[in-house]
Structure formats: C-alpha cells, structure tokens
C-alpha cells in the first residue's frame, strides 16, 4: 500500500517518498540539468520540460510553477522536487537562473494584475462608499502616469547643480555686459 504525500494545490499527487528518489542521481545528489528533456542525459529519464507547455509526456515545470503560484516558492519546491534544498540547488545553477527569474517576474506581474482586477471590481461595485473611494484612490495612485512633485529638502546633488547653474548664468551675464560695454 502506498502512502500519498500531501502536495500543494495545483500539483499532481505523487505516490510516496520513493517518487522523489528518481529526482536524485545514483549518489543521492539532487539532479539539475538531467531533470529536463532539453538537457538530454542517457542515464536518467527527464520528468520535466522547460517549455511553457507539457511536451513529449514531460510536465512543464513553468506551467506547474505558475499554477501553484506561491511567491515564497516553498510549495513549488515540495510539490515538484520533494524538498526545499533540491529547489535551492536547482535555482543556484547558472543555466537555470534565467528561467526561474523570468518565472518569478511573470508571477509578480500576475499577482499585480490580480490585485488590479480586484480593486477595479471593488471600485465599481462599491461606488460612493468609503470602500469604493479607497479602491479608486489606490488605483489612481498606483496606475496614474502623472509624476508626483518631490517633497522635502533638495538633496546635496540638487543644491550643487543649482549653484553651478547659477554661477554659469552669472558668468554669461558678466561676459555679455563686458561685450556690449556695460561693465
């Protein structure tokens, strides 16, 4: 009888701890490149693809990553590889970094899009109420293209630039006055 490991929502149930054993090499080390069909390895079958869709019977790690949608990536680590350490090892691989960075960026954008839709719905359905006003204000502040004026004291760099500009202007005025005979 095989036990079912509890896996995060959106992942396939894997039969038991032995299912994750195939994700390690013959010495028990976490596999990285050999996990993917694109990185052919004769000794180890590849359970995943780097493509955005399942390919040749291999699960798209990207698709599952996005379906799970955990910004901490813990659920993806456990659901896909069976351990946080294995996920960290994979993410540390130089060849994999561009993929996971792109996935992280897309997941962040997806969350932002979800928040936008939620707030737009609140603004529309609660028009005229304090909730609706706050939602509208949030949307305006977050998505308005109008540049807000700077507040507070000018920085040292701004002061220095203004002083330099003023000195250059005074120098040009003095040169002009001398040229036309006023000085």
Q: What is the pLDDT of residue 103?
A: 96
Residue 30, classed as helix, strand or coil, is strand
pLDDT at 4: 41
Q: Distance between CA atoms of 81 and 19, rounded to whole angstroms? A: 10
List phi, psi (to 5°) of 98: -60, -35
Nearest to 79 by CA among 61, 95, 93: 61
DSSP 80-114: IIS-HHHHHHHHHSTTTHHHHHHHHHHHHHHHHHH
pLDDT given for residue 1 in this prediction: 41
How many Cα atoms are found within 13 Å in the side-chain-facing hemisphere of 166?
A: 6
Which pLDDT belongs to residue 180?
Answer: 87
Is the separation of the CB atoms in 25 and 46 below 8 Å?
Answer: no
Of 59, 53, 66, 75, residue with least CA distance to 100: 66
Q: Write down the pLDDT at residue 148.
A: 67
Task: State the Cα–Cα distance between residues 116 and 105, nearest whole angstrom.
Answer: 17
pTM above 0.75, yes or no: no
C-beta atoms surrounding 122 within 10 Å: 18
Nearest to 125 by CA among 114, 136, 140, 112: 136
Q: List the chain residues with pLDDT less than 50.
A: 1-7, 11-15
Express each pLDDT in 106-151 by its tens digit: 999 999 999 999 999 999 998 889 998 999 888 888 888 767 666 7
């Amino acid at each position: 009888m095989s036990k079912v490991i509890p896996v995060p929502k959106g992942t396939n149930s894997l039969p038991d701890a032995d299912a994750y054993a195939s994700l390690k090499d013959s010495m028990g080390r976490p596999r990285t490149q050999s996990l993917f069909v694109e990185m052919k390895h004769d000794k180890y079958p590849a359970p995943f693809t780097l493509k955005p869709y399942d390919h040749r019977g291999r699960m798209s790690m990207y698709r599952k990553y996005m379906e799970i949608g955990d910004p901490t990536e813990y659920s993806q680590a456990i659901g896909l590889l069976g351990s946080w350490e294995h996920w960290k090892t994979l993410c540390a691989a130089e060849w994999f970094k561009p993929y996971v960075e792109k996935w992280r960026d897309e997941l962040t954008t997806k969350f932002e899009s979800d928040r936008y839709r939620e707030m737009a719905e609140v603004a529309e359905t609660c028009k005229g109420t304090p909730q609706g006003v706050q939602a509208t204000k949030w949307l305006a502040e977050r998505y308005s293209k109008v540049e807000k004026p700077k507040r507070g004291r000018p920085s040292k760099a701004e002061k220095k630039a203004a002083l330099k500009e003023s000195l250059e202007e005074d120098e040009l005025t003095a040169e002009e006055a001398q040229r036309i005979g006023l000085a």
